[in-house]
Amino acid sequence: MRILTVDGPGGAVLRKRARSVGRLTQEVVRLMDEMVEVMRRAPGVGLAAPQVGYSLRVIVVEYDGQLYQLADPEITYREGEELGQEGCLSLPGVLCDVRRSTRVVVRGKNRRGRTVTVRADGWLARIFQHEVDHLDGILITDRVESPADIHYVDRERVGEVVG
């Protein structure tokens, strides 16, 4: 399993709205586990299934020692707003200044198929918004307010990449 880039083979899946998972299967749980491994190797702090070629509403997020694996996640509440810089594993060498909510509530199904609610603020809220955007075919370059908010850098300088 590898991370797709926008301009690479298979990258078209990154621009499509992913389909709902519905009932969790062993295949979806296995996908979640593989995504965690890929995200950690990258390294990143989040990854969406379309980034590895699966048009499914599945995300994994790992931040501050906590791992989240969610199917059919949706943001049910947003609060505040701030401009922050994000990178993306599917856009290597690109950083964007993106306006996001500072607090969100995310609801989805965990790996056992149970509905869970995650309250997130700060960087964690930004990560969840970034990953849910991927499920809707939205990239950070789509969220910039001006072309001047897109920065091209050396891959080694990107640092902590969202996903």
* Catalytic-residue membership of 131: yes
> What's the CA gap between 71 and 151, in Å, rounded?
32
> What's the CA gap between 70 and 48, in Å, rounded?
10
Catalytic residue among 74, 79, 81, 131: 131
Selection from 6, 35, 3, 41 nearest residue 21 by Cα: 35
Angle, CA 63 vertex, CA 57 and CA 64 arms, to 5°: 155
- Residues with active-site annotation: 131
